[in-house]
Chain A
Amino acid sequence: MLQEKLYDYLLHLGDNSMILGQRLGELCGHAAELETDIALTNISLDLFGQVRNYFQAAAQIKGGDATEDSVAMLRYEHEYKNTYLVEQPNEDFAHVIVRQFFFDVYHQLVLNELMKSKNETLVAIAKKSIKEVDYHVDFSSTWVKRLGDGTEESHAKMQTAVNILWRYSMELFKATEIESWAADSGVGPDLDQLKPIYLERVTSLLQEATLSLPEETVFQYGAKTGMHSENMGFILAEFQYMQRAYPNMKW
């Protein structure tokens, strides 16, 4: 029972990194500057590295034939626990950066707490990942500032991305049953406590970037409990393609 919950919690943690990593992977080779291409690919690589750690642990709990790949790729859409935010498409560079920034600040807060988890596996993964994610925060924050406070055009594009993506941000902090269990049992963070710090960090950096949060936002919730956006099916169609078309093979 306990192990089942831990399994689900690992999916919560891994799925966000995985779907964001997948989105970033789509950009590989298509960035305007080689330097940015390399940096975004690096972030994708870091995220998938973390995913493999989470899902190797999950596969062990599951036992039997389970592997990191079966955990990652052989689930139905509603069984994925990532948020709406990370499913959002690579509309333009502004969307890519703002999505990254909104996620990175959350990710950093969560990992800092996971380093104090009662679960040793999570502590070990968090300790390894935090250095990477500190860099991600740095990267996305720097770009938010550059483009927010750049030209009129870059400012407008960034503000549009903020306006569109902000509605998906609060889902990060709305605990599901499993996340509440994790908080109560000292396995994971209490998301309610992280939320004010998140709001403070995001608002102050946006301010520095001469950007602002939209005044009224209707927040969207649901992806974490399996009600995904239309994006998700297409993401999985690519992500799972080989495993579905050629089942039970070694690669």
Chain B
Amino acid sequence: MENKTLSLEDQFQNRIDSGENIEAKDWMPEKYRKTHIRQISQHAHSEVVGMLPEGNWISRAPSLRRKVALLAKVQDEAGHGLYLYSAAETLGISREELNEQLNSGRAKYSSIFNYPTVSWADMGAVGWLVDGAAIINQVMLTKTSYGPYARAMVRICKEESFHQRQGYEIMLSLCNGTEAQKAMSQDALNRWWWPSMMMFGPRDEESPNTEQSMKWKIKKKTNDELRQQFVDQTVPQVEILGLTVPDKDLKWNDETGHYDFGTIDWDEFWDVVKGNGLMNEKRLKDRNEAWDEGKWVRDGASAYADKQAEKRAKKTA
């Protein structure tokens, strides 16, 4: 009875508040649909572009065991891309369109992948820090309101935590190794620490979408809260490795029960977001080349499928 007096939007919000999932066929506010298409596809693009910096080291992996593990890891990321594109498609957008948005540079993907992977230790640092930061963001999303997205995230999170352990294990091997290996891992930490901190997005004061995101359970904690969680969880791991966090202001604060840390270079963050990172152009170029080179393959495969269908039709006629 009461429901009738509520607007569709209020009913919708009530469902979310009571912990129900929204499914593809359910009514949803246009803004909810758009926001989710944007967020899920950005996430999918990040998985796919994220294959490139790590793919960069497959041919040079130092041992067969590491090569196989890295191949499998990058392949997992392709799988994540697939689940997420499928989740985005449930909201009424095609893979082609999503691809076009990525390749034209209109869609965003996680800026972290615009940094270069210059040594083998980066395979450790990326798995440990980048996948690690991603998990903190993503665990939240396993309980997000949009059903297909939440379910994709459950599968993804399991694999991401495996990636993180694998990355940390690479770091451990290096740090238990020779001086050259230790130096390589310190250098990787120096380069990946701050970009990983930036993965949680701008400071809360400059993050206007947070309130709406919380209502739709795209977010449960703010960027700054998540970043703090990352620091608190990662610093002890750095200590086990015997490495140094490249932040002279980092120190434990007894009063707050958290680590204090230095100021993030937000100019760098926005520069990379705007396309001026070292690898932005190369990443997009690689994706475009793959897609363009694939055109004759897609055309060939669909022509073949048409011919086969025709043959079958003739047989049954």
Interface residues of A (CB under 8 A from B): 22, 25-26, 28-38, 41-42, 44-45, 48-49, 51-52, 55, 68-69, 72-73, 92-93, 145-147, 149-151, 153-155, 157, 238-239, 241-243, 246, 249-251
Q: Which residue of B lies closest to A33 (CB)?
A: B294
Residues of A within 8 A of B63 (CB): 69, 73, 243, 251
Residues of B within 8 A of A241 (CB): 60
Distance in angstroms between the alpha carbons of A45 and B78 in the assembled complex: 15
Residues of A within 8 A of B180 (CB): 246, 249
Interface core residue of A29, A34, A251 (most chain B CB under 10 Å):
A29
Q: Are A147 and B55 in contact (CB-based, < 8 A)?
A: no
- From A30, A155, A243, contact of B62 by CB (8 A): A243
Q: Known contacts A243-B62, A243-B63; can you find 20 more A-B pairs with CB under 8 A?
A: A28-B51, A28-B58, A28-B74, A29-B52, A29-B74, A29-B78, A32-B294, A38-B78, A45-B72, A48-B71, A92-B293, A145-B304, A147-B301, A149-B304, A150-B301, A249-B177, A249-B180, A250-B173, A251-B65, A251-B120
Residues of B within 8 A of A36 (CB): 297
Is B64 among interface residues, defined by CB-CB distance under 8 A? yes
The 8 A CB mask of B283-315 against A (1 = contact, 0 = none) is 000100111011111111111110100000000
The 8 A CB mask of B61-99 against A (1 = contact, 0 = none) is 111111110011011001101100100000000000000
Residues of A within 8 A of B18 (CB): none
Distance in angstroms between the alpha carbons of A30 and B65 in the assembled complex: 22
Rounded to whole Å, the gap between the CB of B280 and the closest CB of chain A is 16
Q: Please provide the 6 A-B residue pairs with the shortest distance between their CB atoms, ordered closest to farther.
A: A32-B294, A154-B300, A150-B300, A29-B55, A242-B62, A29-B51
19 examples of A-B residue contacts, CB within 8 angstroms: A25-B67, A29-B52, A29-B74, A29-B286, A32-B298, A34-B48, A34-B85, A37-B78, A48-B68, A51-B64, A68-B64, A72-B64, A73-B63, A146-B301, A147-B297, A154-B300, A238-B60, A246-B62, A250-B173
- From B52, B59, B68, B174, contact of A45 by CB (8 A): B68
Distance in angstroms between the alpha carbons of A242 and B178 in the assembled complex: 14
Q: Are B62 and A251 in contact (CB-based, < 8 A)?
A: yes
Q: Are B82 and A35 in contact (CB-based, < 8 A)?
A: yes
Distance in angstroms between the alpha carbons of A242 and B54 in the assembled complex: 16
Q: Which residue of B lies closest to A92 (CB)?
A: B293
Is B181 among interface residues, defined by CB-CB distance under 8 A? yes
Residues of A within 8 A of B305 (CB): 146
Interface residue tally of chain B, by bracket? Answer: 35 or more
- From B68, B75, B181, contact of A246 by CB (8 A): B181
Residues of B within 8 A of A45 (CB): 68, 71-72, 75
Known: A32-B293, A34-B82. A48 touches B67 (CB 8 A): yes
Q: Which residue of A lies closest to B55 (CB)?
A: A29
Dominant SS among interface residues on chain B: helix
Q: Which residue of B lies closest to A49 (CB)?
A: B68
Residues of A within 8 A of B75 (CB): 28, 37-38, 41-42, 45
Rounded to whole Å, the gap between the CB of A160 and the closest CB of chain B is 12
Residues of A within 8 A of B68 (CB): 45, 48-49, 52
Residues of B within 8 A of A147 (CB): 297, 300-301, 304
Interface core residue of B65, B290, B299 (most chain A CB under 10 Å):
B290
Rounded to whole Å, the gap between the CB of B182 and the closest CB of chain A is 11
Interface core residue of B48, B291, B294, B295 (most chain A CB under 10 Å):
B294
Residues of B within 8 A of A37 (CB): 51, 75, 78
Distance in angstroms between the alpha carbons of A55 and B54 in the assembled complex: 26
Residues of A within 8 A of B303 (CB): 150-151, 154
Residues of B within 8 A of A72 (CB): 64
Q: Which residue of A lies closest to B54 (CB)?
A: A29
Interface core residue of A49, A72, A151, A157 (most chain B CB under 10 Å):
A151
